[in-house]
Structure 1
Amino acid sequence: MPTSQDNDLTGLHAFDALAGRWTAQHRRLKERLANNNQWETFGGTFDFRLLMDGHANVDDSVFDMPGGRVHGIGLSAYDAKTGQWAIWGLDGRNPHAKLEPPLKGRFEKGVGTFYADDTLRGKPIRVRVVWSNLSSTTAHWEQSFSPDGGKTWETNWVTDFHRAP
């Protein structure tokens, strides 16, 4: 199976190594952009499928959060003209909510960096997601928020994935 880490895959094939079923170990801040340093940890699963000959993918995630099980879906699409991926998420706790603005970005040297503008508690923020260490057996994901247009970042969610047996 190809890997972004070993083959430095970019563009259309950057997410190929994620195809399949994974276990996930999540760690996230209890409160974001609130000078909080209390982290909570929880497990989950991640099922990832390539679609449209690799030009899109979908993930079905289960989060075994401290308050109960939550389901989520991620959808990504590749634009060959720009070389960028767009990533949308749907949260099972509020499935009829408007989809968030897509994160957009690309992989370079095996690391995918994606950005979006959003709001938190009514204030504008910048969101950054980084995928790294993608291989046939492991992957790493981090989410960070910036309240100042990207000058400073607070990492608030980290996930390590391991290929399910």
Structure 2
Amino acid sequence: MGDFGFQTGEWRVRHRKLKARLAGCEDWVEFEGTCRAFEVMGGEANVEDNVLDDPAGAYRAAAFRRRDPETGVWSIWWADGRAGGLDTPVRGGFVDGVGTFLARDTLDGRPILVRFVWSEITATTARWEQAFSADEGATWEVNWVMAFERVG
């Protein structure tokens, strides 16, 4: 199995998202969702299909992950069912059971860094968080946390 082999299967997901990002907001919204993930290409790629029961309106989303066979670096693309296209990919990998992935992107027209961290990975649980930085990584604002619990 590849680095994302742990995620293969069905999951219940508890989401916690900031209502506004990089705006000094401290108000969070919490909701449930589901996820089904599977490996392709012999573990060199992974697909994650999500249903998010956001109080603002339920939607579907997907993550597509691909490991570069030459460098070992993973690229992750996020597709939000409410909009067309793919988000800017984050890139990185796992060290000592923690996956860290980074990208340069924009938020409301201003440049930011995006960070995904996969941690607390066990046979039945995992944690994912997204954070943004507007100051080249000097400080980070965690704005979305997903707590995964295996189903079945």
Deviations 1:19-38 (A, max 9, x none): 00000000010000000000
| Greater RCO (Cα-Cα under 8 Å, separation 6 or more) | 1
Between the aligned partners of 1:59 and 1:42, the Cα distance in structure 2 is 18
Which of residues 15, 18, 24 is equivalent to 1:35? 24
Secondary structure in 2 matching 1:68:
coil
2:7 pairs with 1:18: yes
Deviation (angstroms), 1:14: 1.5
Which of residues 131, 134, 143 is equivalent to 2:121? 134
Deviation (angstroms), 1:88: 0.2
Deviation (angstroms), 1:80: 2.4
One-letter amino acid of the structure 2 residue matched with residue 82 of structure 1: T
2:109 pairs with 1:122: yes
Q: Is the 8 A contact 1:142 1:155 kept in 2?
A: yes
Deviation (angstroms), 1:140: 0.3
Within 5 Å, give how 1:40-119 maps onto structure 2.
40-94=29-83, 96-97=84-85, 99-119=86-106
For structure 2, list consecutive stretches of 5 or more residues without a partner in the other structure.
none
Between the aligned partners of 1:129 and 1:59, the Cα distance in structure 2 is 15
Between the aligned partners of 1:13 and 1:36, the Cα distance in structure 2 is 37
TM-score under structure 1 normalisation? Answer: 0.89
Deviation (angstroms), 1:67: 1.0
Deviation (angstroms), 1:76: 0.2
Secondary structure in 1 matching 2:58:
strand
One-letter amino acid of the structure 2 residue matched with residue 113 of structure 1: T
For structure 1, list consecutive stretches of 5 or more residues without a partner in the other structure.
1-11
Q: Is the 8 A contact 1:18 1:134 kept in 2?
A: no
Between the aligned partners of 1:50 and 1:13, the Cα distance in structure 2 is 8
Deviation (angstroms), 1:13: 2.1
**Equivalent residues, number:** 152
What do you get for the CA RMSD once the two structures are aligned?
Answer: 1.0
Displaced runs of 4 or more, over 2 A? none
TM-score under structure 2 normalisation? Answer: 0.97
